């Protein structure tokens, strides 16, 4: 298993299996969170505007309730557990 702090190789120098292990260490629940975000957009809970802020990101309105916002918070666990 590839240690998360092993920066002796580039992304292209590690195997596909090592790449997947590394991604899973960073954020194993990405698919569920992406599905949640898509549902919030489709249901009008997050509205992406047609304007860009000073950081060149699209502005948006967040109409989710507290529980939905907490559900969407990203938690990264670097020890692989």
For 16-61, how does the pLDDT look when each residue is reduced to its tens digit (9 = 90+)? Answer: 998 888 877 767 677 788 889 999 999 999 999 999 999 999 999 9
| Cα–Cα dist 28/30, whole Å | 6
- Paired with 58 in beta bridges are 52
Locate 77 and state its tokens.
């666990």
Report, as an integer, the average pLDDT of 65-70: 90
pTM beyond 0.85, yes or no = no
CB-based contact 69:36 (threshold 8 Å): no
The predicted pLDDT at position 80 comes to 47
Query: What separation in angstroms does the CA of 75 have from each of 2, 64, 72?
Result: 21, 19, 9
């Amino acid at each position: 298993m590839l240690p998360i702090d092993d920066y002796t190789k580039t992304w292209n120098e590690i195997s596909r299996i090592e790449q997947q292990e590394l991604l899973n260490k960073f954020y194993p629940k990405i698919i569920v969170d992406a599905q949640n975000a898509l549902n919030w957009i489709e249901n009008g809970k997050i509205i992406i505007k047609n304007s860009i802020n000073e950081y060149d990101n699209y502005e948006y309105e967040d109409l989710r309730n507290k529980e939905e916002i907490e559900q969407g918070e990203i938690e990264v666990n670097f020890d692989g557990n």
